[in-house]
């Protein structure tokens, strides 16, 4: 009897052990397939991500009336919604190098600049391939007959801007004809033409063609307040010439620019327009922001005063009247003719006819 009881108990224990083994096996099989599935998901994600980096979007944008030489995706728009979005670019870009050696003695050719910047797309456009830029920036350069300066500017600025991880386009706003130069009116026209090219710029940076930053920590983007970048130039012994100085290189967001009614159109010839812009900013309750003077250093390519850009004798009286003039003179009253838009490999050229100064009233 005891033996029979022992036999039955042993049989039950064996069955229980067998059942446990089976359960164990089933769990292992389930776990195995789960890990395998995760593996598959990881690799398929990785593959779709690397193909996203390699594939340009067919979504090209062209300026009006020009032939684009090749496919040219919108900056920052080269990822379809089915792919993983890129991580946002870091607030402080990790690849900056700081102080730069800038010199203008060795000759510079456009071929060389083009060869050294293959990442730049037609029209002088670029967007970081590895992160989602925080801003899309249009860089506007007032221009006439300064091709030799432009080559240096492009040579130095394209690599700097790439390291700064913004989406950007370079626009040369070229004054048509030989009438008196008008820097601020050209920049107003550039603002509208850049937006006609691509409607979603957040930020507009206005730079002389002869100014190159000596430090890539001077980030070309827009800030809470209108920005003055060129605070310490070699030509002013690396000091701000006066507290209200706003010349050289500056940057305003779209809303900051519209708040001041853009720039004045009525400063013909050299000088005063930068002070008028400074007045507009203060009169509209904003404050200029600047980088530290150890970072906001610049070299200016030495040059003579250009023909048809003589100092404007009216500038001193005009800057006294910004408060009265800014509402009627600005982006709201701008008139010009678009002559030509050409998308070159390293920049977009926009030639505009901005007219000439009004005839001086007769004396007496
Ligand atoms: C100073 C300011 C500049 C502006 C100007 C007064 C500096 C570094 N810059 O420049 O921002 O306020 O005074 O108007 O202090 N340009 C041409 N072709 C011309 C004439 C001018 O392309 O025929 C463009 C070019 O981008 C040039 C800019 O206009 O850099 C300013 O003219 P500038 O360089 O002759 O005047 P500058 O150096 O005194
Ligand atoms: Mn200059």
Phi, psi dihedral angles at 172 (to 5 degrees): -95, 120
214 among known catalytic residues: no
**What gap in Å lies between CA 321 and CA 276, rounded to an integer?**
9
Sort 348 into a burial class: Cβ within 10 Å, 0-12 / 13-18 / 19+: buried
Structure tokens at 21: 């083994």
Q: Which residues line ligand 1 (CB under 6 A)?
A: 141-146, 181, 183, 208-211, 233, 247-248, 270-271, 273-274, 300, 305-306, 309
Is 75 within a domain? no
In a domain, 301, yes or no: yes
pLDDT at 8: 62
Q: Is 344 an annotated catalytic residue? A: no
Total number of domains constituting the chain:
1
For residue 269, give the ligand 1 atom closest to its CA: 14
**207 alpha carbon to ligand 1 midpoint, in Å?**
9
Distance of CA 324 to the CA centre of its chain: 33
- Distance, CA of 141 to CA of 250 (rounded, Å): 11
> How many whole angstroms from 210 Cα to the centroid of ligand 2?
6
64 is catalytic: no
Q: DSSP label at 238?
A: T
Largest alpha-carbon pair distance within the chain?
142
Q: What is the DSSP letter of 8?
A: H
In a domain, 137, yes or no: yes
Residues in contact with 170: Cβ distance below 8 Å, sequence separation at least 6, in sequence order? 123, 124, 125, 139, 141, 154, 157, 346, 347, 348
Q: Count CB neighbours of 93 within 10 A.
A: 17
Q: Is the pLDDT of residue 21 over 80?
A: no
- Ligand 1 centroid from CA 108, angstroms: 21
Ligand nearest to the CA of 267: 1
Confidence of residue 22 (pLDDT cuts 50, 70, 90): low
Q: Which of 193, 198, 208, 266 is catalytic?
A: 208
175 domain-assigned: yes
Residue whose CA is at the smallest distance from ligand 1 atom 18 = 144
Span 222-250, mean pLDDT? 98
Which residue range is the domain that position 340 belongs to? 122-353
Tokens of 151: 């080559």
Annotated catalytic residue 210: yes
Catalytic residue, from 197, 198, 210, 275: name it: 210
Query: In angstroms, what is the span from residue 155 Cα to ligand 2's centroid?
Result: 18
Convert the pLDDT of each residue in 57-115 to its tens digit. Answer: 223 333 333 333 333 334 444 444 567 899 999 999 999 999 999 999 999 999 999 99
In a domain, 77, yes or no: no
Name the strand (E) or helix (H) holding 233: strand 232-233
Rg (CA), the chain: 30
Please list, in sequence order, all residues whose beta carbon lies within 8 angstroms of the beta carbon of residue 251, skipping any fewer than 6 positions away.
Answer: 137, 203, 204, 205, 206, 220, 221, 222, 223, 226, 227, 229
Q: Which of 171, 173, 183 most suits a substitution to test ligand 1, by most atoms within 8 Å of the C-beta? A: 183
* Nearest listed ligand to the Cα of residue 305: 1
Q: Which of 45, 49, 303, 328 is catalytic?
A: 303
Instruction: Note if 34 is an active site residue.
Output: no
Is-catalytic flag, 270? Answer: yes
> Looking at the domain assignment, is residue 247 inside a domain?
yes
For residue 244, the domain's CATH number is 3.90.550.10
Contact 249, 297 (CB under 8 A): no
Residue 340 a catalytic site member: no
* Ligand approaching nearest to the C-alpha of 148: 1
The tens digit of pLDDT for each residue in 107-147 reads 999 999 999 999 999 999 999 999 999 999 999 999 999 99
pLDDT confidence of residue 55: 29
pLDDT tens string 191-218: 999 999 999 999 999 999 999 999 999 9
Q: To the nearest whole percent, how much of the chain has pLDDT over 90?
A: 76
List all residues 6 or more positions away from 281 whose beta carbon is below 8 Å from its beta carbon. Answer: 226, 246, 256, 260, 287, 288
Banded model confidence at residue 30, pLDDT cuts 50, 70, 90: low
Give residue 23's pLDDT.
64
Q: Is residue 10 part of a domain?
A: no
Judge whether 258 lies within some domain: yes
CA pair distance 98, 95, nearest whole angstrom? 9
Span from the CA of 34 to the centroid of ligand 1 (angstroms):
66
> What is the pLDDT, as a whole number, of residue 84?
85
pTM assigned to the model: 0.80
pLDDT of 231 over the 50 cut: yes
């Amino acid at each position: 009897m005891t033996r029979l009881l022992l036999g039955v108990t042993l049989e039950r224990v064996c069955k229980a052990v067998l059942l446990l083994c089976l359960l164990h096996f089933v769990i292992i099989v389930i776990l195995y397939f789960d890990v395998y599935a995760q593996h598959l998901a990881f690799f398929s994600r990785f593959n779709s991500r690397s193909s996203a980096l390699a594939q340009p979007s067919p979504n090209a944008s062209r300026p009006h009336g020009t032939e684009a030489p090749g496919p040219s995706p919108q900056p920052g728009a080269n990822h379809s919604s089915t792919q993983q979005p890129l991580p946002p670019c870091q607030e402080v870009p990790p690849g900056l190098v700081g102080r730069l050696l800038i010199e203008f003695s060795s000759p510079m050719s456009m071929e060389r600049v083009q060869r050294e910047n293959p990442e730049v797309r037609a029209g002088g456009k670029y967007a970081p391939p590895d992160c989602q830029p925080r801003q899309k920036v249009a860089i506007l350069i007032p221009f006439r007959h300064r091709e030799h300066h432009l080559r240096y500017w492009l040579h130095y600025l394209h690599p700097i801007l790439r390291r700064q991880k913004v989406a950007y386009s370079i626009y040369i706003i070229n004054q048509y004809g030989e009438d008196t130069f008008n820097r601020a009116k050209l920049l107003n026209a550039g603002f509208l033409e850049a937006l006609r090219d691509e409607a979603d710029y957040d930020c507009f940076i206005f730079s002389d063609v002869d100014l190159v930053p000596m430090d890539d920590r001077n980030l070309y983007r827009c800030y809470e307040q209108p920005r003055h970048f060129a605070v310490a130039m070699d030509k002013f012994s690396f000091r701000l010439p006066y507290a209200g100085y706003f010349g050289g290189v500056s940057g305003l967001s779209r809303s900051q620019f519209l708040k001041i009614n853009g720039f004045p159109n009525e400063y013909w010839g050299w000088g005063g327009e930068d002070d008028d812009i400074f007045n507009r900013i203060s009169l509209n309750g904003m404050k200029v922001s600047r980088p530290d003077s150890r970072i906001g250093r610049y070299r200016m390519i030495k040059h003579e005063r250009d023909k048809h850009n003589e100092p404007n004798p009216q500038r001193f009286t005009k800057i006294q009247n910004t408060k009265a003039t800014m509402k009627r003179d600005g982006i709201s009253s701008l008139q010009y003719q678009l002559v030509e838009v050409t998308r070159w490999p390293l920049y977009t050229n926009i030639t505009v006819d901005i007219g000439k100064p009004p005839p001086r009233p007769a004396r007496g």
